[in-house]
Structures are given as structure tokens and as C-alpha cells.
């Protein structure tokens, strides 16, 4: 009976270890994928939101439209995420001239230890700037 209980204990310990390793692996990969998605989506949405009319009239000053940015960001982000995860999108700061945005993405988790939630939070600050005095094409802008 003693050997049987030892074997059962080892099997249960192995299953628990695999479950913990699986949870940690999912969250670390999820954080990395969310960070890459946030980076690429922010860059693309900022380029989409450049106000070309203002750029032409002002003589080369870059301006991003807030509503265009938000629409493009949410649309692109929603296309690439899974429906099984809850995301909290927070726009911390947005400047139209010079174009700057600070975004925070929170991903809810199911892991709780002693009543504390483990939420994964990614934040990015993005600025579009140009160092040229003469007029440039929008495709040549550094971001």
C-alpha cells in the first residue's frame, strides 16, 4: 500500500508540475505576442492617421488625426487577437502635433494566487518625427 501511494503522489506531482509549466509558458508567449502586436499595430495606425492635407498646407509639419488613429488601431488590433482573451486598451496620451501616442494593453489571466490577479500589461510610447527641413514623402518619414 505504501508503494502505491508513493506512485500516486509522484503522478499527481508530475501533473501539477506540467500544469504550472504550461500556464507559465502560455503567459510568457502571450506577453511576447501581445507586445509585438501592439508595436506593429501602433506603427501602422499612426501612419494611417497622418493628415496629408495638413502636411501639404503647413509646409511639412506632420499631424495625426486622433479619430483616424483610434479607428485604425482598434480595427487592426481586433482583427489579430483571439476571442478567448479579454483585452483592456487604454490610451494614456495622444498629441496631434508632433504625433505622439502612449498606449497600454492589459490582458486578463485566470491565474490567481492568494486572491491576487496576474494581469499582463504592455505599454508603448510612439512618436513620429522627421529631421528634414525640406518637404519629404510620407513614406520617407522615420518612426
What would the pLDDT profile of 43-70 be if each residue is shown by its tens digit?
888 888 888 777 777 776 778 888 888 8
The position carrying cell 486578463 is: 108
Confidence at residue 143, expressed as pLDDT on a 0 to 100 scale? 54
pLDDT (mean) for 71-88: 79
The span from the CA of 68 to the CA of 61, in Å, is 18
Distance of CA 18 to the CA centre of its chain: 28
Q: Spell out the domain ranges in the chain.
A: 2-140
Amino acid at each position: 500500500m505504501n508503494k502505491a501511494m508513493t506512485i500516486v503522489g509522484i503522478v499527481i506531482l508530475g501533473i501539477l508540475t506540467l500544469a504550472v509549466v504550461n500556464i507559465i509558458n502560455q503567459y510568457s508567449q502571450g506577453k511576447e505576442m501581445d507586445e509585438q502586436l501592439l508595436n506593429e499595430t501602433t506603427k501602422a495606425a499612426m501612419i494611417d492617421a497622418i493628415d496629408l492635407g495638413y502636411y501639404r498646407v503647413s509646409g511639412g509639419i506632420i499631424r495625426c488625426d486622433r479619430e483616424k488613429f483610434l479607428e485604425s488601431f482598434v480595427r487592426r488590433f481586433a482583427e489579430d487577437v483571439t476571442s478567448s482573451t479579454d483585452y483592456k486598451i487604454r490610451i494614456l496620451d495622444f498629441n496631434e502635433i508632433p504625433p505622439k501616442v502612449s498606449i497600454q494593453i492589459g490582458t486578463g489571466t485566470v491565474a490567481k494566487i492568494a486572491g491576487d490577479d496576474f494581469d499582463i500589461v504592455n505599454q508603448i510610447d510612439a512618436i513620429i518625427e522627421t529631421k528634414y527641413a525640406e518637404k519629404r514623402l510620407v513614406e520617407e518619414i522615420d518612426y
